[in-house]
């Protein structure tokens, strides 16, 4: 587990996934991250908060151990804890800057984060989306060095949105959805979630629900299991056959 105060020489990450709490990213896109890591990409996870307090946890230190164990299962290179306030996470200038510093430090090509509200679940999720959107923009802004500890500007090439596996399959109002085949990494995703004993051990059939969601998502494309994403802006493929999975 890495703090946000590492120096400017950190090895770049290819992709960073941002969650409000430890376990958000695993539920949303753990299969995709495991697949990227197995293909040799350097993957990072940013948890904006430590997720504590929660009813069945022994506290932040125990939750951090669970988070690092989950990252190890997925093959994640860096897990970064920003230690912003859980349950009181709000989109504000200071929080935007802290995340933008991470982007400038690790220089990802792709950033993935929340894409919508999660009704009847934590409002931190939507605030996380707003913070991530702003930090992607702040990361590339020049003539603002004083706010970013002298870290160089960095333009992120693609921003994607995830949705939690137990939320609706599509993000309302976004036409740019696509699926990633996680048939080979679904078990890794489930195993990473099982590291969070404090969050899921008491929830009946949570593993089955996550597996069923991945299978249902994959079924619409004729594959065994998938995770769905939406692009913040459309992008083009250079090869038709690759674009359609052939």
* pLDDT value at 3 more than 70: no
In a domain, 244, yes or no: no
Q: Note the pLDDT tens digit of each residue in 186-201.
A: 999 999 999 999 999 9
Which helix (DSSP H) or strand (DSSP E) does residue 46 occupy? strand 43-49
Q: What is the pLDDT of residue 172?
A: 85
In a domain, 72, yes or no: yes
Q: The pTM is what?
A: 0.94
In a domain, 242, yes or no: no
Q: Note the pLDDT tens digit of each residue in 45-80.
A: 999 999 999 999 999 999 999 999 999 999 999 999
Phi, psi of 231 (to 5 degrees): -90, 140
**Separation between Cα atoms, residue 62 and residue 225, nearest integer Å:** 31
In a domain, 245, yes or no: no
In a domain, 224, yes or no: yes
CA-to-CA dists, residue 197 to 64, 109, 193, 208, angstroms: 12, 32, 8, 15
Q: What is the pLDDT of residue 246?
A: 87
Q: What is the torsional sign of CA 17, 157, 234, 143?
A: positive
In a domain, 246, yes or no: no
* pLDDT value at 5 more than 60: no
Q: What is the pLDDT of residue 141?
A: 97
- The count of domains in the chain is 1
Q: 147: which 2 tokens? A: 């706010």
Q: 142: which 2 tokens? A: 């020049």
Residue 6 binned pLDDT confidence (cut-offs 50, 70, 90): very low
> Do the beta carbons of residue 52 and residue 89 sit within 8 Å?
no
Domain that holds residue 172: 2-232
Beta strands in 58-207 (DSSP E): 78-84, 110-114, 158-162, 177-181
Residue 94: half-sphere exposure toward Cβ, Cα within 13 Å: 6
**Separation between Cα atoms, residue 51 and residue 165, nearest integer Å:** 19
Q: What is the pLDDT of residue 17?
A: 99
* pLDDT value at 9 more than 80: no
Q: Which residues of 183-206 are buried (b: 16+ CB within 10 A; e: fewer)?
A: eebbebbbbbbbbbebbbeeeeeb
**Separation between Cα atoms, residue 168 and residue 23, nearest integer Å:** 18
In a domain, 237, yes or no: no
CA 97 and chain centroid, separation: 18
* Sequence-separated (6 or more) residues with CB below 8 Å from residue 194: 200, 207
Residue 136 binned pLDDT confidence (cut-offs 50, 70, 90): very high
Q: Note the pLDDT tens digit of each residue in 216-245.
A: 999 999 999 999 999 999 999 999 998 888
Q: Note the pLDDT tens digit of each residue in 160-187.
A: 999 998 888 888 889 999 999 999 999 9
Q: Beta 226-231 vs 158-162: how paired, if at all?
A: antiparallel
CATH number where 61 lies: 3.40.50.10320
**Separation between Cα atoms, residue 160 and residue 136, nearest integer Å:** 11
- Write down the mean pLDDT value for the chain: 94
In three-state secondary structure terms, 45 is: strand
pLDDT, average across residues 140-159: 96
Phi, psi of 207 (to 5 degrees): -60, -45
In a domain, 243, yes or no: no
Q: What is the pLDDT of residue 166?
A: 81
Phi, psi of 180 (to 5 degrees): -115, 130
């Amino acid at each position: 587990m890495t703090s946000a105060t590492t120096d400017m020489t950190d090895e770049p990450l290819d992709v960073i996934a941002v969650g409000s709490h430890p376990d958000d990213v695993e539920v949303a896109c753990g299969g995709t991250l495991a697949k990227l890591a197995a293909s040799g990409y350097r993957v990072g996870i940013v948890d904006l908060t430590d997720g504590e307090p929660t009813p069945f946890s022994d506290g932040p230190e125990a939750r951090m151990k669970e988070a690092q164990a989950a990252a190890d299962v997925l093959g994640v290179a860096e897990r970064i804890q920003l230690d912003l306030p859980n349950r009181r996470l709000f989109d504000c200038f200071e929080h935007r800057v802290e995340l933008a510093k991470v982007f400038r430090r690790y220089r990802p090509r792709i950033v993935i984060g929340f894409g919508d509200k999660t009704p009847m679940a934590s409002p931190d999720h939507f605030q996380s989306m707003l913070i991530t959107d702003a930090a992607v923009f702040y990361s590339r802004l020049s003539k603002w060095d004083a706010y970013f500890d002298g870290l160089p500007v960095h333009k992120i090439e693609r921003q994607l949105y995830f949705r939690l596996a137990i939320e609706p399959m599509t993000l309302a109002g976004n036409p740019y959805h696509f699926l990633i085949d996680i048939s080979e990494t679904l078990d890794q995703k489930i195993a990473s979630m099982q590291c969070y004993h404090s969050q899921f051990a008491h929830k009946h059939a949570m593993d089955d629900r996550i597996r069923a969601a991945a299978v249902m998502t994959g079924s619409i494309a004729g594959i065994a299991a998938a995770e769905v994403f939406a692009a913040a802006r459309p992008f083009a493929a250079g090869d038709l056959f690759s674009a359609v999975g052939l």
